[in-house]
């Protein structure tokens, strides 16, 4: 089998059998397309030519091209996934990536918004317009639940139980999870459903948040509008929807929420992924200790 065809088969496996999101599959496709080009330039067209030497040379090539350690690690993960798939499908006798090591990468702490910045952002939309009501509800719901932007844009009308104050999020790996929703976000969502959505939604449209044309709002559109509202709120740094998710998690931990609960609300498969927020929240804990504990700081003389 040709290597390019094997990569296509692996991507189909990720999409159908492992039910990974379209964004994740696209990332794998981009990374592995570089492998196919690299192999073809060296005369390797068949899967049988993918050996340990080629795999190692590919990683060296990525490093010399100026790729960061984090990006190189992502490419290696894609390569390993492909190689394991090829071994399992008996297209390769052994895994050529087995001895490759991940490049060292430091822990990158998530970028956050302060509480004041969050409040300013949430109040930036104009509630006198249908679009403002929609955007105000979306921002409030994202901060109240920690949803990913793709999860927010995929929400259906039936995913939110207004009476119980919970929503059902459709996350990575097509896994569902229940997330509680606070009263303020529910109030803004109710306002949107009553005074905005009926004006723009197409007949029989089931997506919760709709564009001015009546269809589903895209991730890209939400990225754009959150930047516009950040400027309107006087936030000068560049922000992304994911920063609301990071802020949600960190502010929960600062408020005393336990790590397991935050993990469940974020939809993290591993507790280790959630633990990064404890490094961000520790400054808050330290400040509280220094303020409250009688022996935290030595008393000044005189």
Active site residue 268: yes
What is the pLDDT, as a whole number, of residue 56? 85
Bridge partner list, 46: 2
> Is the entire prediction scored with pTM above 0.75?
no
Active site residue 115: no
The residue that leads in pLDDT, 292 or 118, is 118
Q: What 3-state DSSP class applies to 250?
A: helix
Q: Which two tokens stand for residue 74?
A: 């992502």
Q: Which domains does the chain have, with CATH numbers?
A: 3-88 (1.10.150.130), 115-289 (1.10.443.10)
Active site residue 246: no
Residues 166 and 186: their CA atoms lie apart, in Å, by 9
- Mean pLDDT (whole number) for 214-242: 86
- Mean pLDDT (whole number) for 251-264: 68
Active site residue 102: no
Alpha helices in the chain (DSSP H): 3-12, 22-41, 52-64, 69-88, 115-122, 130-145, 149-154, 183-195, 197-200, 219-232, 241-254, 259-266, 271-274, 276-292
- Which of these is catalytic: 61, 84, 131, 172? 172
- Whether 144 and 185 have beta carbons less than 8 Å apart is answered as yes
- Over residues 69-109, the pLDDT tens digits come to 778 788 888 988 999 999 999 998 888 888 777 655 455 55
């Amino acid at each position: 089998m040709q290597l390019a065809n094997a990569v296509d088969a692996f991507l189909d496996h990720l999409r159908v059998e492992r039910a990974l999101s379209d964004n994740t599959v696209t990332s794998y496709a981009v990374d592995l397309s570089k492998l196919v080009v690299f192999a073809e330039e060296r005369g390797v067209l068949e899967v049988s030519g993918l050996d340990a030497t080629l795999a190692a040379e590919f990683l060296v090539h990525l490093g010399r091209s100026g790729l960061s350690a984090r990006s190189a690690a992502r490419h290696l993960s894609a390569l390993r996934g492909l190689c394991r798939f090829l071994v399992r499908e008996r297209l390769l006798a052994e895994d050529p990536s087995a001895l490759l090591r991940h490049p060292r990468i430091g822990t990158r702490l998530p970028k956050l918004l302060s509480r004041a910045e969050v409040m300013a952002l949430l109040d930036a939309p104009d509630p006198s317009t249908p679009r403002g009501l929609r955007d105000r509800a979306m921002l409030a719901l994202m901060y109240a639940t920690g949803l990913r932007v793709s999860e927010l844009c995929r929400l259906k009308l039936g995913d939110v139980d207004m009476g119980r104050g919970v929503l059902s999020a459709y996350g990575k790996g097509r896994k569902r999870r229940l997330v509680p929703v606070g009263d303020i976000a529910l109030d803004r969502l109710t306002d949107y459903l009553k005074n905005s959505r009926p004006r723009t939604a197409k007949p029989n449209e089931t997506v919760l948040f709709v564009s001015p044309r009546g269809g589903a709002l895209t991730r890209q559109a939400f990225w754009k509008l959150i930047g516009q509202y950040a400027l309107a709120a006087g936030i000068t740094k560049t922000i992304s929807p994911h920063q609301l998710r990071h802020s949600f998690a960190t502010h929960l931990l600062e408020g005393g929420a336990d790590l397991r609960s935050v993990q469940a609300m974020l939809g993290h498969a591993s507790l280790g992924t959630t633990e990064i927020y404890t490094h961000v929240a520790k400054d808050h804990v330290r400040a509280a200790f220094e303020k409250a504990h009688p022996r935290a700081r030595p008393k000044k003389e005189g």
